[in-house]
Structure formats: structure tokens, C-alpha cells
Chains A and B, each alone.
Chain A
Amino acid sequence: MPNNPTDLKYSESHEWVKVNGTEATMGVTAYAVEHLGDMVYAEFPDAGTVLSAGDIAGTLESVKAAADLFTPVGGTVTARNAAVIDDPALLNKDAYGSWLLKLTLSDPSQLDKLMDATTYDAYEASQ
């Protein structure tokens, strides 16, 4: 059984979100990184970009495949993780320590639709 961090919320497309007031920090789960393989490229929208829940919020590429990153919550991009852009392999080392984007939430109630760690553990195991 997977054992994902309990202080995060999770989407069905394998992103994680950490909430601090109206600021959300997002990344991708260890499952997603494991599935993609060795990461070699990352790009994200500029700070100031306004995103709706479900929008494409960047691209992650492994040696073998390119994958869109979706934001499970809407908001305005406030920061991108330059360390991951410089060295996408950081994601392979620690998916939860390597955040991708920070957003100011436009509608914090969207968080209610996300899974908690226990639910996501079961969801991941069913994939």
C-alpha cells in the first residue's frame, strides 16, 4: 500500500496541493514521477498567469514521454520552482520536496473536491 504524506491534498491526475491560508503550493506525486521515469524537462506558466481548476499548468518530460501538468485548483501563479526547471531530476529524488508552482487560490472551496492521503493511497493502488 502506498504511503503518501498526510498533510497534502491529491488530484486524480496525480498532483499534490499544500495549502497555507489562501496560498497553494502544488507538485506531482511520487506515483506520477515513478510512472514518467527519469525527468529531463519542466516548464511552467509565468508568475501572474491566472489559471482555472483543470487548466494545463505546465509540461513535464521524462526521457521517454511528455506529460501535461494540470492544476486541480484555480488561482494566480505567484512563483515557479526554478530549481526544478534547472534540474528536473530533483523530482525523481523527492517528488514531495520538489514543489512546482505556488498559486493564490481563487476559490478555496475547490480544495474540498481533492482527496486526502488515505483516499489517494487507495486510488494510487487501484491504478
Chain B
Amino acid sequence: MALKRTPLYDTHVRMGARMVEFGGWEMPVQYPSGIIEEHRATRNHAGLFDISHMGEFIVRGPDALKLLNYATTNDLGRIEPWQAQYNFFAAESGDVKDDTIIFRFPDYYYVVVNGGPTEGDYQWLEELAKKYNVKLENVSDATAKIDIQGPEAEEILQKLTAVDLKPVTFYHFTTGEVAGVTNVIISRTGYTGEDGFELFFPAEHAEHLWQTFIDAGAKPVGLGARDTLRMEAGLPLSGADLGDNGRDPVSAGFGWAVKLNKEDFVGKAALQQIKEHIARKWVNFEVTGRGVARPHYPVTNTSGEVIGEVASGTYAPTLDKNIGMAWVKPEYAAPGTEINILIREKPVAAVVRPRPMYKRQA
């Protein structure tokens, strides 16, 4: 199957990006500046990300809230219009099908999902929707998404829009004109641990807005640095940190986004049981020996017994440490616990750390 391309594909190639496959999409993993410099540009200034591979669905109709509250683990009844919520689609087993951010507009919901699972998520929602009076629309192909993240993100975006950004607080959004493009969804959310915004708008304006932000001083950042930034910030990658085989949101520590006291939802029974018997937990760790942890490396205790597996791992440029996230038996989940990561069959010392490992100065 041919890889999908975002409306900014040609722009990335022209900027010298290295393009790689990610979830069925051909995406920039880095620009010539390199992952470490792109990571630092986001932490210290403003990074610009093409996230157009992510999917967007509109759910409207009298039963929109009912359907979405059945399809997701969090309670959308708790948010007001112009507010967004982090949420999960769970399987009946309780495993994470995908994580999502759902935006409540006055008269509909806007559901944002990961790029790879977009089609599957939509078909699944369509199937569930048969029992509800709703209208679903998949606007993924028509929609581009650019994130601007970092301490200078607000200042740069504010120069390009008349919308007052100050009242748009974390996990809130508004719509307005940005650099001549009308009806842009402007959301103070992100995946980097920095202040910043995610913008959604019609795909035909992608190149214009991208170039406008570059000209205004934002630095292009690829998926490589997006990954190192989110790991430092302790944010999960769906499909790696969360997903099949018991990588459910309750065991992962996202119980705050799983409302077991709301009406029935997909996965509720299983997640209730899991909550009573947590078999594994999702932890952050720092490699204190020499080596870089990578996904699927086994985790052992100091006696050499296998107690888990690495889900994500990297060199963390801001922390200047090798860090990662792993699924381990619960008795090894407390911060300070000494564990080993098997790197090419050799045990390398690591320590469980509190999450997140990086927190920006307020």
C-alpha cells in the first residue's frame, strides 16, 4: 500500500527533511538541523510540527454525547463548550485502542485521533453509532494540523492573529483567523511538555501557514524530536506505551481519564476488574549505567529475573540522560527502585523515576 502524504510533504522534502514511514504515513523524522537541535529549539524557543497525519472526526446530533461517552473511558459530560478532554477508546478487554483528545464545540464534538489508527477508529465509531441518533463525518483528509510549541509559541502566534490568546488556557480552545486563514481551531494543547498550541484548518492553507510560522521564527521539528520531547514530558505514545496485551489506561496510571462511575462504556467491566488487580504498571526510568534503552528490551530486577519490558526509550537531550518508559510488575513501580535493562543481553543499571522527568518552569 502506498504511504500517505500530508499536504506539507513537498515542503518537508524541499527543506531537506529525512522522510520515514510512521503509521502508514511518509513523515519528516528530522530536518538538516537534527533531532537534538530541534528538541532544544522547542524547549528554548518555538518548534513547528506538521501533525496533519492525525485524524479528525465531527460527531453531531442529539445523541453525540451519549455515543462518545459510550465509546470512551473519560466523561465528556464534565467539560464545557470550548474545552478539550484527554480520553481513550478502550477495547472490551480494557486495552487501549487509541488515545484521543475530544473538543467540545457548542453544537458538536471534534474528535482527534492518531494517524495510523484513524481509519480503524472511524469504522469502529460508525459501528457503535448505528444505535444512536448521530451524524459522523471523517474530515481527516480535508484537515491539516500544525503544532507550535515552546516558550515563544504564544508570542509568535499572537503576532499572527487578532484572537486574544491569553484567555485560552490549557486544554481550552477557540476559533479565529490566523494569518488570513479563517476558522482556524486554536487549542492550547500539545505533546512536548511546553506551552503551545495545536492548530486545525483546511488542508489547502497548510503551506501558507507553515511558511508564515517559519518566517515568524518557529523552527521546523520532525517526529524524532517530537518523540524525545514527549518522553521527557512523560506522555505516552499510543501503540507503544498504550495498546494491546494489557497496556490499558488504568494500569498505566491514567485512572483520572477512566470514569468507572459513569454509565456503561466499552471496556468498563474489564477496567473495573483490572483496577482491583493491577498486574503491571507503566513507569518512567533513568538508565544510570551505560546504554540507550529501546522498545522491547527486557527489564529485570537486580537478581536477573525478568519483570517487564521497555515500551519507549531514548537519549533525552534536555535531561542529558538516557531515559525510557517500561511496563513492570507493580512491586517494582515505586520511584527509586533499582532495575536493570537488558541491552544486547547485558544488564545495565536503571532506576525508576517519578513522572514526568521534565517539567517546564512556570
A residues with a Cβ closer than 8 A to B are 37-38, 40-41, 43, 59, 61-64, 66, 92
Inter-chain CA distance A37–B228, complex, in Å, is 14
B contacts with A: majority SS: mixed
- Considering only CB atoms, which chain A residue lies closest to B20 in the complex? A64
Contact in complex: A37, B30 (CB < 8 Å)? yes
- Considering only CB atoms, which chain A residue lies closest to B228 in the complex? A63
A contacts with B: majority SS: strand
Known A-B contacts A37-B224, A41-B315, A59-B344; A66 and B294 likewise in contact (beta carbons under 8 Å) = yes
Most buried by A among B18, B36, B227, B314: B36
Known A-B contacts A63-B224, A64-B29, A66-B294; A37 and B315 likewise in contact (beta carbons under 8 Å) = no
Inter-chain CA distance A62–B18, complex, in Å, is 15
- Considering only CB atoms, which chain A residue lies closest to B320 in the complex? A40
Contact in complex: A64, B224 (CB < 8 Å)? yes
Q: How far is the CB of B296 from chain A (nearest CB, A)?
A: 12
**Which residues of B341-357 are within 8 A (CB) of A?**
344
Q: Which residues of B contact A66 (CB under 8 A)?
A: 292, 294
**Which residues of B153-182 are within 8 A (CB) of A?**
none
Contact in complex: B30, A40 (CB < 8 Å)? no
Q: How far is the CB of A41 from chain B (nearest CB, A)?
A: 5
- Considering only CB atoms, which chain A residue lies closest to B34 in the complex? A38
Inter-chain CA distance A48–B242, complex, in Å, is 45
Contact in complex: A63, B35 (CB < 8 Å)? yes
Contact in complex: B292, A43 (CB < 8 Å)? no
Known A-B contacts A59-B344, A63-B224; A40 and B292 likewise in contact (beta carbons under 8 Å) = yes
Most buried by A among B34, B227, B317: B34
Inter-chain CA distance A62–B315, complex, in Å, is 8
Inter-chain CA distance A124–B294, complex, in Å, is 28
Which 9 interchain pairs have the tightest Cβ spacing? A40-B315, A63-B35, A38-B36, A38-B34, A61-B292, A41-B292, A64-B224, A63-B315, A38-B35
Q: Does B290 contact A (CB under 8 A)?
A: yes
Inter-chain CA distance A22–B39, complex, in Å, is 44
Contact in complex: A37, B292 (CB < 8 Å)? no
B residues with a Cβ closer than 8 A to A are 18, 29-30, 34-36, 224, 227-228, 290-292, 294, 314-315, 317, 322, 344
Could you give 16 example pairs across A and B, Cβ below 8 Å? A37-B18, A37-B30, A37-B34, A38-B36, A40-B292, A40-B322, A41-B322, A61-B292, A61-B315, A63-B36, A63-B224, A63-B315, A63-B317, A64-B224, A64-B314, A66-B292
Q: How far is the CB of B129 from chain A (nearest CB, A)?
A: 39
Inter-chain CA distance A63–B34, complex, in Å, is 10
- Considering only CB atoms, which chain A residue lies closest to B223 in the complex? A64
Inter-chain CA distance A110–B36, complex, in Å, is 38
Q: Which residues of A contact B30 (CB under 8 A)?
A: 37, 64
Q: Which residues of B contact A61 (CB under 8 A)?
A: 292, 315
Q: How far is the CB of A123 from chain B (nearest CB, A)?
A: 20
Inter-chain CA distance A37–B292, complex, in Å, is 15
Inter-chain CA distance A92–B18, complex, in Å, is 16
- Considering only CB atoms, which chain A residue lies closest to B33 in the complex? A38
Q: How far is the CB of A85 from chain B (nearest CB, A)?
A: 9
Q: Which residues of A contact B36 (CB under 8 A)?
A: 38, 63
Inter-chain CA distance A59–B322, complex, in Å, is 16
Q: How far is the CB of B84 from chain A (nearest CB, A)?
A: 30
Q: Which residue of the partner chain, among A37, A43, A59, contacts B35 with CB atoms under 8 Å?
A: A37
- Considering only CB atoms, which chain B residue lies closest to A66 in the complex? B294
Known A-B contacts A37-B30, A38-B36; A63 and B314 likewise in contact (beta carbons under 8 Å) = yes
Q: Which residues of A contact B227 (CB under 8 A)?
A: 64
Inter-chain CA distance A19–B290, complex, in Å, is 31
- Considering only CB atoms, which chain A residue lies closest to B294 in the complex? A66
Most buried by A among B228, B290, B292, B317: B292
Inter-chain CA distance A43–B35, complex, in Å, is 21
Inter-chain CA distance A33–B18, complex, in Å, is 14
Inter-chain CA distance A37–B314, complex, in Å, is 13
- Considering only CB atoms, which chain A residue lies closest to B227 in the complex? A64
Inter-chain CA distance A63–B38, complex, in Å, is 12
